[in-house]
Structure 1
Amino acid sequence: MSFDLHTHSTASDGTEPPAHVVAEAARAGVAGLALTDHDSSAGWAEARAEALKQGLAFIPGMEVTSKTANVSVHMLSYLHDPEHPGMMEINAAARGGRMERAKRICDRLSEDFPVTWELVLEHIRADTSIGRPHLADALVAAGVVSSRSEAFNKYLHRGTKYFVDQENPHPVDVVQRIRAAGGVPIIAHAMAGARGGTLSRAELEELVDAGLCGVEVYHRDNPEPGRQLLLDLAARHDLIITGSSDYHGVRGKPNLLGENTTEAEQVVRILELGAGSPAVGPLPS
């Protein structure tokens, strides 16, 4: 049994509704999946219902953006209580920050391209956690670029005049809040240097001390030396080891559902630790 524990839907920056993501996971042949939209649990109910229909295991999750002084850190949270005060606080702050950042980027883009805030809003749902991919969609709709990837490569990455940074909580704070909410924190694509800086070994050890439960090792953006570093860290501290696609839909990213997966025994460890929200469907034991 294999599980894909990192996927996104239109509840954040994915291009497919939650139910469609689950149906695609079934077609990809995985035994179960986690929906991990950015700073949002809005897609859980729809994904859960479709998973039960498809006979898949469903693990509720979320991806929380955090930041050290120099490095953006994405933390996957599984089985947390979304109504825990600590999680509600950082989610509300993140969603507000995302909205303000998107508006500022849009203002900068509009100086050079036919991109308006109204055009951006055409590409999100009412409950969407907005992000740069939606600005990329607006650039595609305006005929400036042909794809999200081209938009990021040309205009939306750090270093361009359109980029705007966002304030985010420290990853130690995020790990502690996830644990307090009954969740299982696992750091996502921690060695993805192409995305920007990566944490040092000492910083990773600090997260373990704070309560980090696992590491996403098998992700297309983690190079082999980085994977080995994460495997060594996991062995030293008996951490959970996961693999995931980081699927964003066929129009979102080239990542394919099930291209990297998590073994059943690692999923069992997540299920044993999580206490905030239940997983459903045919779960491994």
Structure 2
Amino acid sequence: MHVHSSESDGTDTPAGVVRTAVAAGLDVVALTDHDTSAGWAEAEQAVRESDPPALRLVPGAELSCESSDGRGGTVTVHLLAYLFDPDSPALRDEQLRLRAERRGRLEQMARRMADDGFPVDPEALMAGLPPDSPGGRPHLARALVEGGTVSTVSEAFDRYLGTHAPYYMPRTDTPVERAIRMIADAGGTTVLAHPFAVTRGQTVTAEVITELAGHGLRGVEVEHPDHDEPARHRLRELVAELDLVPTGGSDYHGTNKNIRIGSENTPPDSLDRLLGDCTGSKIIG
């Protein structure tokens, strides 16, 4: 329920994501590229070309949002959105804004690094992005790997591109409460991704998740590679208390991350609870 393709910052094409999911033995996969639904059509075609369809495809996206951290500050959170209508005007306009900002930010970061002597070609980097892709730091990280500056994408983030690294640049995200409303108005549903992943940086408190449930948040990603067992235990208790839907996802990015697709899963009953009332789009397959 949490997979990225080359339409954002993964390395598999949308059709490749479907083939990888089939090979892994999954019966459902959600395509959740950052701030775009551009990969939906290709992934749907890959599912339909399998006769009978080898799995079901859940069209989705991962939205970057701004939230209170519950401690007096703000933090970027990620919202997994499923089965929304991508042509909903408010949502479409906001995703266009976010993609434009992501691409502009990526180009600025690349130019700063090129000006400082790194083997990065900003024009080639931007030209290599799919037209509707927001682009992201992993694209620049791969350029640093290809140029021999670092050995891995993770090293590029640690040394140069991470939140507290020298070439990081912030962006303006959608307020999370607004994003939850936009997705609901577009017939979809939302899940808070990896909320207790402390290895990623600052996290939100349980009180924030409680508040977001009051704004219409439907689920929480409990099973995630960046959640240790104590975090999973706390989240399982919290979602039960709030009657939210617990989900799981690998956050697969192809070769950009050393995470196997299907390494974390969502129980069938959670899937039914989460998606049963969505009207914006349909499950494929």
TM-score (norm: length of structure 2): 0.93
Counterpart-to-counterpart distance in 2, 1:60 and 1:234: 24
- Structure 1 residue identity aligned to 2:30: A
Q: Percent identity?
A: 40
Shift in Å, 1:26: 0.4
- SS of match in other structure, 2:33: coil
Q: Which residue of 27, 30, 41 maps to 2:26?
A: 30
CA contact (8 A) 1:119 1:138 kept: no
**Does residue 170 of the first structure (1) align with residue 169 of the second (2)?**
no
Report the Cα offset of residue 115 of structure 1. Answer: 1.0
Residue 254 of structure 1 deviates from its aligned partner by 0.7
Aligned to 2:159: 154
Separation in structure 2 between the aligned mates of residue 29 and residue 211 of structure 1, nearest angstrom: 33
Out of 202, 206, 214, the position equivalent to 1:209 is: 214
Where does 1:133-282 land on structure 2 (aligned, <5 Å)?
133-249=138-254, 251-281=255-285
Q: C-alpha deviations, 1:126-181, integer Å up to 9, x for none?
A: 22221101111111222212221121121111122211011101111111111111
TM-superposed CA distance for 1:63, in Å, is: 0.2
CA distance in 2, matches of 1:253, 1:181: 31
Aligned partner of 2:226: which letter?
D
Distance apart, 1:65 and its partner CA: 0.3
Report 1:73-152 matches (<5 A): 73-110=77-114, 111-121=116-126, 123-152=128-157
Distance 1:237 1:190 in 2: 15
Looking at structure 1, the residues matched to 127 and 156 of structure 2 have their Cα atoms a distance apart, in angstroms, of 17
Q: How far apart are residue 229 of structure 1 and its match?
A: 2.2
Contact 2:221 2:249 in 1 (8 A): yes
Give the corresponding residue for 2:58: 59
| Displacement of 1:123 | 4.0
In 2, are the aligned partners of 1:9 and 1:17 still within 8 Å (CA)? yes
- Structure 2 residue runs without a partner (length 5+): 68-72
Equivalent pair of 1:99/1:130 in contact (CA under 8 Å): yes
Could you tell me which runs of 5 or more consecutive residues in structure 1 were left unpaired when the two chains were aligned.
Answer: none
Q: How many Å separate the matches in 2 of 1:118 and 1:150?
A: 23
- The aligned residue for residue 6 of structure 1 is 2
Residues 39-54 of structure 1: pairs in structure 2 closer than 5 A? 39-52=35-48, 53=50, 54=53
Segment drifting more, 66-75 vs 187-196: 66-75
Deviates more, 1:121-130 or 1:75-84: 121-130
CA distance in 2, matches of 1:153, 1:8: 21
SS of structure 1 residue aligned to 2:203: coil
1:13-63: CA deviations, max 9, x gaps? 000100011101001011110000000000001111212315211110000
1:158 partner letter: T
TM-score, normalised to structure 1's length? 0.93
Structure 2 counterpart of 1:51, which letter?
V
Instruction: State the distance in 1 between where 2:225 and 2:249 align.
Output: 9
TM superposition shift of 1:192: 0.7
Cα deviation code 1:82-139 (max 9, x no counterpart): 1111211220111111012112211221113121212312542222221101111111
| 8 Å contact from structure 1 (residues 120, 137) kept in 2 | no
Query: Structure 2: how far apart are the matches of 1:66 and 1:161?
Result: 23
**Residue identity matched to 2:60:** G
Q: Distance in 2 between matches of 1:197 and 1:70?
A: 9
Aligned residues of 1:123 and 1:137 also touching (Cα < 8 A): no
Counterpart CA distance in 2 for 1:116 and 1:88 is 31
Shift of 1:205: 1.1
d(CA) in 2 for partners of 1:269 and 1:86?
Answer: 26
